[in-house]
Structure 1
């Protein structure tokens, strides 16, 4: 029997489009994706990057979708009033879904969908929030009460990892209401079985002036406080001052910390900075480096999908304990190291330790681990729930 699944999400995202295609390919599932940020149909205005982003990989082929008109006067996915779709509920009703999967609740229209359909159609939720940044106090208690109310409007939550599961349990959901659906990327695109990205990366690495004996650490992401790239800059500078080495740092991205970073690395020949690179280039970018580092201090580094990408490119990873994926992907897996967030000395120690190991072997372990975190498992989890 054909089951209909309505998916509510703000805009096309490279981390979800492959999943939608996979679900649409199931013979007994009819999928329709309702995009609620209609202004993002062609490109997304990313305030942190400070530019309009238009991905250079296809995100709208292979599945049924509709952009529902967003009437918000200040459209965007980062605030409650940024998503307002007066026609959304009616359009979902016309589709007659057997279940509704909502991505993100903290936008007016998304929460209205959850509240309206609760008790009428199974309402499912996908999010990757954690308790990693939670502090004690009245604000936390108040937020917990609000979130318990929010999650009373869903029937199931698809959690992405250990920290995500803890979050849902803390906000009133029961074990029976939780389904594991691992955070994933398009592993095949990053693994590059034909070796083209490897060849391009070797050429690019030479063009950047790196030698075979250099150990290149990569930071790729937004230059923002949350991701804390300046801590990594300071760690590399400190290690170089104490002992001249072949340790290099490659910073790739844009963002509000850009001027500060440029000032810090002005006289550091061993640190290079490159601008934002689009998605088709990222499998090459990771291969230029020897180690990928995500030194986030939060709040809000709920997972860190760049870690998945780096691991799929056979790269060892070094992350802070504020990165949501650390317990699932890195802890006890021999794929890299976890350091204490904000602790410069611990970051330096972990960097030195990693540089003294067999990075090729660690990278192979990383690739083997990440192949288990794939879209097929998310699809199977959703399909299993639909068939109940």
Structure 2
């Protein structure tokens, strides 16, 4: 039986179903999956979980000023692996050993990811360094078609690329969203002080710099003066800027900070919402919005995740200009046009027929098979 190992810094909650399904898919094709994970979650998110069949290995972290290096001490666990899959990240020291291992011992390894750090300028020093080894892996598993095109531009052979179409467990999200009665939702609104005729905007994501939260909070303040439509903005999430968000919300009568919520609790707050507002880095939150029937308004922004490709402007969501006036105008437009909202919702639900964990597992699994056979 062939053996494939995935090494990742941590297991975020949204990846559990993907790993479970991928394990079954590969086993059905005579391939054993070994998942090795560490303890380096994203700062402040608190969304890392354990997985009983995976192997936890405590990472070692080295701080060099503002730069962090991570050593994942698992070389003894990958000696018999036919393929090792890792995140393409400068900070991961094991990646450089895998490059040497492939060069001198013909051992296969693959990169999985974005190709670039999308939360930094493309021409910054660290992204330039990434380009020096972008073509050193046996295979590539980019998140989206856009990342694939970028890799080809940088000299990666298209024969060594499998687009995974990054996704989350949207079927479970749908089930959770539809599990609440109208009475439960109305009671929740009463508890939050939301009036029956008020629109509900929602932000859900990391409370971090790349999410452009200053823009979000200021736009909500201006929006209050621009429209006669009453509204509340609910904010879900955690991160380095939590305190600033909490302080702003405490001094506002139209912003409600809830905190980090997952699973059913998260779905409940989206069930209250009319519009999903995220004027910063948009990633898998696109699929939250589709599954939770909440039309997206975001902006043209240089640090979006690759999943922004799933938003077709003015078809299944809105990508406003990077301008607060235009952003607020688009929000007001949706507030006043339920037919447009319903159209976005319908197309988002249609997109979920392919943007889901099952499709991602099939793509990833077949890519692994192709890499092993290459």
TM-score class, shorter-chain normalisation, is 0.7 to 0.9
Partner residue of 1:7? 6
Aligned length: 359
Partner residue of 2:72? 85
Task: Give per-residue Cα distances to partners, 1:124-167, cap 9 Å, x unaligned.
Answer: 1111355866658xx64x55552232223212211222442344
Partner residue of 2:305? 324
Q: Distance in 2 between matches of 1:228 and 1:266?
A: 19
Mapped pair 1:68 → 2:57: yes
1:214-253 aligned at under 5 Å gives the runs: 214-253=198-237
Q: Gaps (5+ residues) in structure 1?
A: none
| Aligned counterpart in structure 2 of residue 32 of structure 1, from 14, 31, 34 | 34
Q: Distance in 1 between matches of 2:306 and 2:61?
A: 34
Q: What SS class does the counterpart of residue 180 from structure 1 fall into?
A: coil
1:344-355 aligned at under 5 Å gives the runs: 344-355=324-335
Q: Distance in 2 between matches of 1:14 and 1:197?
A: 22
| Aligned counterpart in structure 2 of residue 178 of structure 1, from 155, 161, 174 | 161
1:1-388 aligned at under 5 Å gives the runs: 2-26=1-25, 27-28=28-29, 29-35=31-37, 37=38, 39=39, 47-48=43-44, 53=46, 59-61=50-52, 64-72=53-61, 80-81=68-69, 83-86=70-73, 88-93=74-79, 96-119=80-103, 120-130=106-116, 140=124, 143=126, 145-192=128-175, 195-197=178-180, 200-296=184-280, 301=281, 304-322=283-301, 323-325=304-306, 327-332=308-313, 334-341=315-322, 343-358=323-338, 359-388=341-370
Q: TM-score, normalised by structure 1?
A: 0.81
- Give, in angstroms, the shift of residue 266 of structure 1: 4.6
Distance change in 2, residues 1:202/1:362 (3 Å): farther
Q: Distance in 2 between matches of 1:74 and 1:336?
A: 40
Task: Give per-residue Cα distances to partners, 1:169-198, cap 9 Å, x unaligned.
Answer: 344323223221111111122101783245
Distance change in 2, residues 1:243/1:292 (3 Å): closer
Kept in 2, the 8 Å contact 1:102–1:114? The answer is: no
Q: Distance in 2 between matches of 1:198 and 1:312?
A: 17
Q: TM-score, normalised by structure 2?
A: 0.84
Distance change in 2, residues 1:332/1:383 (3 Å): same
Q: Distance in 1 between matches of 2:368 and 2:193?
A: 53
- Give, in angstroms, the shift of residue 201 of structure 1: 3.9
Q: Gaps (5+ residues) in structure 2?
A: none
Distance change in 2, residues 1:153/1:248 (3 Å): same
Q: Distance in 2 between matches of 1:198 and 1:109?
A: 50
